[in-house]
């Protein structure tokens, strides 16, 4: 019997398994098996690392349900930590993803299991209204934005994120990542909850934080001159900023924590 070595990490409670060059034919099935929180190890997704010329590595993301996703802002920080552990350095990394190239800058923290990472997340662009959006029943005066960070997001401004039945709303549009946001508590902060495509409600979402920060700036929920926007999520807080010369290009900063290294038998 052969085995597969995995590392498990989380970015603000959004947890991932990382596998380097897994010799497995059916990766979606492997993701479903490993990510199951009752019969597997448990995670929001499986990150597969492969070699690619000109890059530190190629990252392929499978959600917990086995579907393939283009990008994850928390996931890529976890991936970069796993790659740094494997390489034995904290050098800057160019990583290839299904959403394009991403550059990650890493630095150590006081916790030996945790690094901080800054990710150049690419362009925020506008999407059309997703299918079945009208089933959510949003009031026409409520602010709504449909945006892409390489993956699809719908952001809704609400009075109080804790009062929303997010599981019900997310189940109506499972093909997109749904974020609900309220302003504050700081003038340059927002509070966000997320229902992710392929995973359900998660503790945090990095691409969603970028999309929500961009929408919130447009809506005036944060100060127009804010150099960084703090995005408070169930699992913790990330920082989002935008390139001064290209204001639709997002930069995400947050932690990644190594939880465990695990050998899994393969039958």
Where residue 12 sits, what CATH number does that domain have?
A: 3.10.310.10
Q: How far apart (Å, rounded) are the C-alpha atoms in residues 117 and 101?
A: 16
Same domain, 233 and 152: yes
Structure tokens at 114: 């945790």
Banded model confidence at residue 1, pLDDT cuts 50, 70, 90: low
Which among 201, 204, 228 has a CA at the least distance from the CA of 216? 228
Same domain, 15 and 69: yes
Same domain, 107 and 175: no
Same domain, 89 and 43: yes
Interval 6-25 mean pLDDT: 96
Same domain, 116 and 152: no
The pLDDT tens digits for 181-208 are 999 999 999 999 999 998 999 999 999 9
DSSP SS3 for 29: helix
Same domain, 192 and 155: yes
Interval 251-255 mean pLDDT: 98
The pLDDT tens digits for 202-237 are 999 999 999 999 999 999 999 888 889 999 999 999
Same domain, 184 and 157: yes
**Model-level pTM greater than 0.85?**
yes
Contact of 252 with 73, CB cutoff 8 Å: yes
Helix, strand, coil share of the chain (percent; to 5): 20, 45, 35
Same domain, 94 and 170: no
Same domain, 129 and 243: yes
| Residue ranges making up the domain that contains 107 | 2-121+254-266
Same domain, 196 and 117: no
Q: How far apart are the first and last CA of the chain?
A: 6
Same domain, 13 and 130: no
Better-predicted residue by pLDDT, 138 or 73:
73
Total domains present in the chain: 2
Same domain, 39 and 114: yes
């Amino acid at each position: 019997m052969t085995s597969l070595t995995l590392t498990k990490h989380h970015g603000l409670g959004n947890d991932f398994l990382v596998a380097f060059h897994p010799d497995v034919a059916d990766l979606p099935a492997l993701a479903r098996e490993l990510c199951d929180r009752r019969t597997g190890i448990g995670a929001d997704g499986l990150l597969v690392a492969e070699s690619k010329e000109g890059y530190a590595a190629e990252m392929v993301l499978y959600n917990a349900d086995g579907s393939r996703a283009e990008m994850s802002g928390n996931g890529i920080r976890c991936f970069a930590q796993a790659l740094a552990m494997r390489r034995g350095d904290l050098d800057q990394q160019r990583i290839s993803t299904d959403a394009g190239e991403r550059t990650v800058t890493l630095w150590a923290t006081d916790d030996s299991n945790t690094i901080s990472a800054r990710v150049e997340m690419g362009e925020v662009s506008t999407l059309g209204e997703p299918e079945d959006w009208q089933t959510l029943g949003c009031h026409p005066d409520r602010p709504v934005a449909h945006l892409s960070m390489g993956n699809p997001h719908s952001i809704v401004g609400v009075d109080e994120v804790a009062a929303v039945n997010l599981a019900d709303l997310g189940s109506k549009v499972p093909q997109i990542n749904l974020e609900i946001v309220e302003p504050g508590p700081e003038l340059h902060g927002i509070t966000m909850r997320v229902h992710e495509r392929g995973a359900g409600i998660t503790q945090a979402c990095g691409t969603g934080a970028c999309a929500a920060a961009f929408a919130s700036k447009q809506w005036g929920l944060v100060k127009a001159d804010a150099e960084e926007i703090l995005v408070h999520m169930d699992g913790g807080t990330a920082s989002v900023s935008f390139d001064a010369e290209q204001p639709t290009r997002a930069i995400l900063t947050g932690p990644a924590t190594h939880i465990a290294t695990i050998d899994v038998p393969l039958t």
